[in-house]
Amino acid sequence: STPDHAYAIDARTGRELWHYVWASKGGNHLANRGMGALNDTVYFETPDCHLVALDIRTGKERWNREICDLNRFYYGSVAPVVIKNHVMAGVSGDDMDNPGYLQAHDPVTGELQWRWYAVPQSADEPGSDTWPNLEAAKHGGGMTWQPVTYDPALNLVYVTTGNPQPVMAHRNRPGANLFTGSIVALNADTGKMVWYFQSSPHDTHDWDATQTAVVFDGTIDGKPRKLIAQASRNGMFFVLDRTTGKAIVSSDYNKTNWSLGYDKRGQPIPNPEKDPRVDGTLVSPNAGGATNWYPPSFSPKTGLFYVNASRSYSVFYLYDPSDQPAGWGGTDRGGWSESMLQAIDYRTGKVRWSHPWDSGGGRSGILSTAGNVLFTGGSAGFTALNATTGDFLWASRLGSAVSNGPITYELDAHQYVVVGAGNSLAAFVLNR
């Protein structure tokens, strides 16, 4: 999928089978992050705030439902995720003072089943005491612009949320600003919150904590644990018990200078001296973050969590020092940066190895396989590395930058790896 378009491609040959075009009414056409599927139906979001269901064989539209208000500058870019009899749809649009939310739809009819808001909508809701007043909370942001993850045994959906509003000017929102910048566990059938962990309390640097939270089972202190891990945009790595949300590991995976350490929950403590100022303050990482939208990967074979990362410094300025700022109210101006792929030991949070990229590299998702190969888009093109050591295996230049996550599948006894570059897809068949 791309904004307003959906395609079916023959998995053996790359031949186009069908192409669906949505009649757009506008919206932000920045990105489309993928599709969901159930039985004979595929689902995708459109920039003008619709969830669309298509026949998987023909591309014929079955239904569409409005999921957000285009007039309030929301837009749709998220890959829907099908969980049981729910199609989970998130929303984008955190440049305005709107609340983010996640909602579930019936996969057959498209009817709304439930909606969960990332920020409190009434004074008696959890988290309302972390905002100065209800009006600030109701318009507090927390967009849900990345796909959710799911544990079928616990029946929990894990949603990651974006930054609060106003983005950098923050005098009218003292407090932690829950549940922005958080990993939140919801009951898949009801949308009720079970637990939360705030990766970026009172974010003042546009560090959406929407980075993909990866579910896996591991061993901590010799005992098996159900875990969920996130390399957050703020430069910190967290491993949580996914049943309770309790932090097991909290550490930097890249150099940061904005926190005073961690509280008893393992959440970072922001340093007020690193908030944006009229005369500027030097912060690491920059607003783009130590990582961003590109999905990470975890290999149970190596016990390593892989993330494409950037170490950077930037000066954050405050434009609106008033008591009632709105919108952004500030920005950052870039400085030095370097890119690398970090392999993190989930038990300790320590970086086991680091693979450097040249300028502009490493802005791609990561795929790790049981064959101990790691695939990603790097400065050398589409790149394969040894997942244990980070050693270079091979690369292929594709003519355009790779900015999506590669996928793999087996067909006719061959393993394919497919990746997008520019407006093309490239398929590789692994030799045996």
Catalytic residues: 206
Q: Which amino acid is at 294?
A: Y
Residue whose C-alpha is closest to residue 270's, from 280, 279, 283: 283
13 burial class (0-12, 13-18, 19+ CB within 10 angstroms)? Answer: exposed
Query: CB-based contacts of 270: which residues, under 8 Å, 6+ apart?
Result: 201, 202, 204, 258, 259, 260
Other beta carbons within 10 angstroms of residue 162's beta carbon come to: 30
By the 8 A CB rule, do 100 and 91 touch? yes
Q: What is the H or E stretch that residue 134 is in?
A: helix 134-138
**Can you point out the beta strands (E) in 172-222?**
182-187, 193-198, 214-220
Alpha-carbon span 299 to 295, nearest angstrom: 13
Long-range contacts of 416-420 (CB under 8 A, 24+ apart): 416/11, 417/367, 417/375, 419/364, 419/375, 419/377, 419/382
HEC letters along 276-294: CECCCEEECCCCCCCCCCC
Helix, strand, coil percentages (3-state) for the chain, rounded to 5, are 5, 45, 50
Residue whose C-alpha is closest to residue 396's, from 379, 412, 410: 379
Alpha-carbon span 401 to 377, nearest angstrom: 8
What's phi and psi for 134, nearest 5 deg?
A: -65, -35
**Do you find a cis peptide bond into 80, omega within 30 degrees of 0?**
no
**SS3 state at 392:** strand
Enter the DSSP assignment of 71. G
